[in-house]
Amino acid sequence: MRYETERTRRRGHADTATDTLARGLGIFSIALGIAEIAAPRALARALGMKGQEGLIAGYGVREIATGIGILASKDPTPWIWGRVAGDGLDLATLATALEGRNPKKGNVGIAIAAVAGVTALDVYCAQTLSRETAYPLPPMQDYSDRTGYPGGIEQSHGAAQDFEVPRDFRTPEAMRPYTQPQVPQRPMPSM
């Protein structure tokens, strides 16, 4: 089966498991970004990072931008790598909160573990996507003889013009002239 291996899967297709994961990460990114922008004070308090509210909100903007990039692009690969870079930044920022006499070090430890978990998922997703092909695949099966017309297309084209379209399925009479062959039109007068 062609789509079974990473090298032969078509990157950016919504119906492969890795792309589903990528979309999930995109939605997660937007949700986290909204939380960071909506409640930077609460987050700073929980992590003992008072005075860093602006930075947290800034990270929220970054998360939302990355999430939109993942969901809106045909190929989410560079955006997922962008998430990996952002994860590094998050971990470095959280590491600074472990220094000194921060009373919320326990919360920071939990946050670092959570970010590390998501980073692992991001790295796995980015690596898998990078191994998939970004180029169109030729048909695996040749269906070029599957016409469906036993006597050939020329014989079947228009063969059902004897069919009378029921009244309730017909184009309204007022619209009908528009789709009929038109007499040559005079050029539009210049305004």
Partner 1 sequence: MKALVWHGTTDIRCDSVPDPQIEHPRDAIIKVTSCAICGSDLHLYDHFMPGMKSGDIMGHESMGEVVEVGAESKGKLKVGDRVVIPFTIICGECDQCKRGNFSVCERTNRNGHIAAKAFGHTTAGLFGYTHLTGGYPGGQAEYLRVPFADATHIKVPSTLSDEQLLFLSDIFPTGWQAAVQCDIEPTDTVAIWGAGPVGQMAIRSAILLGAKQVIAIDRVPERLDMAKAGGAITINFDEESVIERLNELTNGKGPEKCIDAVGMEAHAAGTVDAMYDRVKQATMMETDRPHVLREMAYVCRPAGTLSVPGVYGGLLDKIPFGAIMNKGLTIRTGQTHVNRWTDDLLRRIEEGQIDPSFVITHTVGLEEGPDMYKIFRDKQDGCIKVVLKP
Residue numbers at the binding site for partner 1 (CB under 8 A): 1-4, 12-16, 23, 27, 30, 68, 71-74, 136-151, 153, 155-161, 163, 165-166, 168-172, 175, 178-181
Nearer Cβ to partner 1 (11/48): 11
Smaller CB separation from partner 1, 160 or 191: 160
Measured from the CB of residue 129, what is the shortest distance to partner 1 in angstroms?
13
State the nearest-atom distance from the C-beta of 169 to partner 1, in Å.
5
- In whole angstroms, the minimum distance from the beta carbon of 94 to partner 1 comes to 27
Q: How far apart are CA 146 and CA 12, in angstroms?
A: 28
Q: Which one, 158 or 187, has the nearer CB to partner 1?
A: 158
Cβ of residue 166: shortest distance to partner 1, in angstroms?
A: 7
Give whichever of 95 and 159 is closer to partner 1, judged by the CB atom.
159
Beta-carbon contacts of 16 under 8 Å, excluding residues fewer than 6 positions away, are 3, 9, 10, 132
